[in-house]
Each structure stands twice: as C-alpha cells, then as structure tokens.
Amino acid sequence: MSISQINGQRLLDNLHALGQIGALPSGGVNRLALSDADRAGRDWTLARMRELGMRVAVDAIGNIVGTYPGTEDLPPVMMGSHIDTVRTGGLYDGNYGVLAGLEVIDTLREAGIQTQRPLAVAVFTNEEGARFQPDMMGSLVYVGGLPLPEALTTSDADGVSVQTELQRIGYQGTATVGEPMVDSYVELHIEQGPVLEQLGLQIGVVEGVQGISWTEFTVEGQSNHAGTTPMALRHDAALVAAQVTVFVRELSQRLGGRQLATVGALRLSPNLVNVIAQQAVFTVDLRNTDSGALAQAESDLHAYAQQAAQAEGVRITHRSLARFEPVAFDPLVVNLVEQQTQALGASYQRMPSGAGHDAQMLARVCPSAMIFVPSVGGLSHNVREHTEPADLQRGAQLLLQVVLALANRPY
C-alpha cells in the first residue's frame, strides 16, 4: 500500500488564511488569547474542522477538540497545539501544529482512509501566556494540573478575567474538561531556535522539554551621588545585578552541557547617569534537561547572589516566577517518530525542546512526543518568524505517518 501524501499547497494556503486573522501591517500576527482576533481565529478553525466532518467539542476553559472517528471506539490519537500568539507573533508558532493536524485529517478523508483509533486535533487555550499567566493554561487545565476555577479567575493586566473573556467571545463550552481521554499525543511545531538550521537538519525528534526556572531578584541598595560618594562607602544595586548577570554566564559554562542561563530583563532605579542605583530588579531564566543539574544551577545562583549582596552591603530578595521540571517524552513514541523520520529519508537529530509546549502537559496523562521543523534564523515570537515551505510540508507528512502508525498499532 502506498503512503498517503499530504497536500502541501493546501497546508500553506491554510496557514496563510489563518495568518490573515489578526495580521499586523509588519507581516506578523497579533492574536492574543481570548481577544476578538482569537475568536475569529477559533471560528475559522472550528469551521474547518466541521468541513472535515469532525465532531467538535469546546470545554469550559475554551479548549477545542475536533475528533475524526476511527474504526474502533478507542481513545483517540491526538494532534494539536494552539492558535493564540504573542503581540508580535508569526504565522507558524502553534498554528502549524493545529493546521498540519487538520491537513492530516483532510488527506485521510480524501483517501477514504479510516484508522483503527480515532484521530483528534486539539486547539489549547492560551498557550503563550502573553495575556494571562501561566502559559500553557488550556493544556494544563486539560490534564488536571491547574484547577479550572483558578484558571477562570485569572485576570490580565487590565483586570479582565479568563472567564469574562471566554464568555464574551463565546468559547466557554460545555464539554467536560479533560475529555476525551487521549491514547497518545503528537505535537508538530517550529523549533523556535537555531539548532536545526545551524546543523543543516530537516527534522528534530524531540525527546523532552527542558526544565525551566524563572526567578526575579530585587536588590535594594542605597541611592547616592556618583560624584561625591567614595567607592568604599557605596551600596550599589546595579553592581550586584551586573555581578549576578556575569555569574550566570559563567555558571552555564561551568555546568556545561545543556545548561542555559539568561538575564533578559533588568530595571534600575532611579536609573540616572550620576546616581548610584538604589534598586535593581532583574530576572534569571535557567533551563536544563536534567532535573538535578537544574536544581544545582538554582542553588549555585542563590548562593552567589547572597554572597555578592553581602559583599556590597545590599539586600537581595527573590521570588519564583515560574518553575517546570524537565519532561521526558515517552520513549516508544519518540522512537516511532525517529523511525518514521528515517522512513521519510529526512535528516534529523534527537533533541530537547528549549521552549515550553502543550505536549509537556499532555505527557502527564498519555504517551507524548513532538516533532520540530527548522526556524529560519532561529527566530520566533517575532513577526519575522519563518519556516521554509518545504520544511513545513515535510513536517506535516511526517506527522501523518506517525499518527497512522500510532492509530493503527496493535494493542
């Protein structure tokens, strides 16, 4: 039996059609979660699911699941991702996983193929977390990791709640959260990093998601005149923030391997050329695929921060902004992805995901894995986000082959 081939042009057309909704003049997309643009994007996606003959359910947190029946009444093999974006997002982050899933369904429908297990395509609410925190909210609620009432009462910066916005846009559904039970989950996504492009590879076989630890530090020093305060009498908040910033780079080098460490945000106060900083607030983003190594990095960071603060005579406090343990995807599904990548003749490597994805939530309740395709320049969360059409099409074809293998596998 020949292998069905996805319709590459249809996939691209659909990506561009959805990308028109919330399109920015600069070429990207702004479809913040639960905005009017998100509603329009949901309407478009839901209509496409119905066109494909899928049964559509919307749950109380607004997750949309379209199901395409199998020959047997079993838990479905689920594909999916999200269609919300950051304020200056691209066409592919999230959308690609959803629309490639629908392209898989369309391809099978056209070919008259019905798999043993049903297939589902999920659109999870508020993956980006750009408007409501935490990110990956819909999938986290779906797997029982965040109580529904807590998610619904979360408010954005203007004090508007998830519940209010879900009702306003008509996407607080009646389906039971967490249903259907899922057989397995495969998420296709752009890499959002430079690794595949740098290595000249076509596919990333994603073995897991690295652990994330976000910490905000606040340094309280003493504001004084930069021209009249002897160096020995200073309590300079900016200096300690800078020392920690330099330290985290050294820490990542010392721990090596897959330890990432970034100070991306820093605010000084009063932030004047001739005034010693009274306060510095900055963030440290630590990531590691290894749970123990991540904890070690955190511990070393806190020890250094305290030591630097003490040496300068300033006070340093910290709070955790986010923390996720590393997630290892199911080896059987990962191996299956690798086999199908080989069958496709695509070049690839096994790799972790640097960013968080809905798949890491689904991994709590079912065997899961992810497929990456290259991001040009490694850019994402950026209107210049781009993946070459051939890469987008190859990824969707691989997704098709993986879900066919999963959906038709023996018990």
Q: Does 387 bind a copy of itself (CB under 8 A)?
A: no
Asked whether position 254 contacts a copy of itself by CB under 8 A, the answer is no
The number of residues that bind a copy of itself (CB under 8 A) is: 61
Q: Is 224 in the site for a copy of itself (CB under 8 A)?
A: yes
When binding is defined by CB under 8 A, the residue of 115, 126, 192, 202 that contacts a copy of itself is 192
Smallest distance from a copy of itself to CB 10, Å = 29
Site string for a copy of itself, 193-222 (x = CB under 8 A): xxx--x-----------x-x-x-x------
Residue 277 in contact with a copy of itself, rule: CB under 8 A: yes
List the one residue from 356, 367, 374, 395 that touches a copy of itself (CB under 8 A).
356
- Which listed residue (260, 295, 328, 366) binds a copy of itself by CB under 8 A? 260
Selected range binding a copy of itself among 2-10, 43-51, 247-255, 342-350, rule: CB under 8 A: 247-255
Is 355 near a copy of itself (CB under 8 A)?
A: yes
CB of 239 to a copy of itself, least distance (A): 6
Residues 279-308 that bind a copy of itself (CB under 8 A): 283, 285, 287
Query: Among residues 144, 264, 292, 331, which is the contact residue for a copy of itself, using CB under 8 A?
Result: 264
Written in H, E and C, the secondary structure of the chain is CCCCCCCHHHHHHHHHHHHCCCECCCCCECCCCCCHHHHHHHHHHHHHHHHCCCEEEEECCCCEEEEECCCCCCCCEEEEECCCCCCCECCCCCHHHHHHHHHHHHHHHHHCCCCCCCEEEEECCCCCCCCCCCCCHHHHHHCCCCCHHHHHCCECCCCCEHHHHHHHCCCCCCECCCCCCCCEEEEEEECCCCHHHHHCCCEEEEEEECEEEEEEEEEECCCEECCCCCHHHCCCHHHHHHHHHHHHHHHHHHHCCCCEEECCCEEEECCCCCEECCEEEEEEEEEECCHHHHHHHHHHHHHHHHHHHHHHCCEEEEEEEEEECCEECCHHHHHHHHHHHHHHCCCEEEEEECCCCHHHHHCCCCCEEEEEECCHHHCCCCCCCCCCHHHHHHHHHHHHHHHHHHHCCCC
Q: How far is the CB of 65 from a copy of itself (least distance, A)?
A: 27
Told to check if 273 binds a copy of itself by CB under 8 A, we report yes
- In the complex with a copy of itself, the residue whose CB is nearer, 193 or 395, is 193
CA-CA distance, 359 to 371, in Å (whole number)? 10
**Residue 340 structure tokens:** 């199908």
Q: Does 236 bind a copy of itself (CB under 8 A)?
A: yes
Q: Which is nearer to a copy of itself, 62 or 354 (CB)?
A: 354
Q: Shortest approach of a copy of itself to residue 43 CB, angstroms?
A: 29
Stretch that binds a copy of itself, among 11-19, 21-29, 46-54, 353-361 (CB under 8 A): 353-361
* Distance from C-alpha of 6 to C-alpha of 398, rounded to nearest angstrom: 9
Query: Should residue 265 be labelled a site residue for a copy of itself when binding is judged by CB under 8 A?
Result: yes
Q: Counting contacts by CB under 8 A, is residue 91 touching a copy of itself?
A: no
The amino acid occupying position 108 is: L
Residue 274 in contact with a copy of itself, rule: CB under 8 A: yes
Q: At 360, which amino acid appears?
A: Q
Q: Give the footprint of a copy of itself on this chain (CB under 8 A).
A: 191-195, 198, 210, 212, 214, 216, 223-231, 233, 236, 238-239, 241-243, 245-246, 249, 252-253, 259-268, 271-277, 283, 285, 287, 321, 353-356, 378-382
